[in-house]
Amino acid sequence: MEHILQLGWDDHAIPHKIWIEQYYDGCRICLKVVKDVEPEMLSLIVPNIDVQTTHKAWQGKATNITPAYDDGVLFTQTRSLFNLPHGCVIWAVTHIQMQNGLKMSADKLCFVPKYSNQVSCFKVPA
């Protein structure tokens, strides 16, 4: 709304674009996933948080939560993008190789609220 804050990836070879912006009392997270076919635009509004807090939670990378499944046609994995004070934003990654050999994305962003007695949203593997 007021301004968009582009976030950078630690790995500059990653073609995906990610940015955040204030959205009323929450923060909108946008992710443009670039694959072989038309890019996929993902958007998620996280309630009750500001851009500054979300920006501080950005670590420049997505952290794997689940092991990857990859059979050569289907790739799927769950990753954490932001560990926020009241929950975390996860990225459900799904890439599909089509019959013409090109890969498409069928991803999803989700907010998982933190329960009051949880220390962190997800324990990240060491």
pLDDT for 2 equals: 58
More confident residue, 55 or 13: 55
Domain ranges, residue 59 = 4-113
Classify residue 122: in a domain, yes or no.
Answer: no
Mean pLDDT for 29-46 is 92
Higher pLDDT: 120 or 97? It is: 97
- 118 belongs to a structural domain: no
Strand ordering across the sheet containing 40-46: 4-7, 17-23, 26-33, 40-46
Distances (CA, A) of 120 to 9, 26, 76, 109, 123: 23, 20, 24, 19, 7
If one counts the domains in the chain, the total is 1
Contact by Cβ (8 Å): 72, 61: no
* Residue 36, in any domain of the structure: yes
Residue type, 79: R
The pLDDT mean for the chain works out to 89
| 121 assigned to some structural domain | no
* Residue 87 covered by a domain: yes
Please tell me the pTM assigned to this model.
0.84
123 located within any domain: no
pLDDT at 3: 84
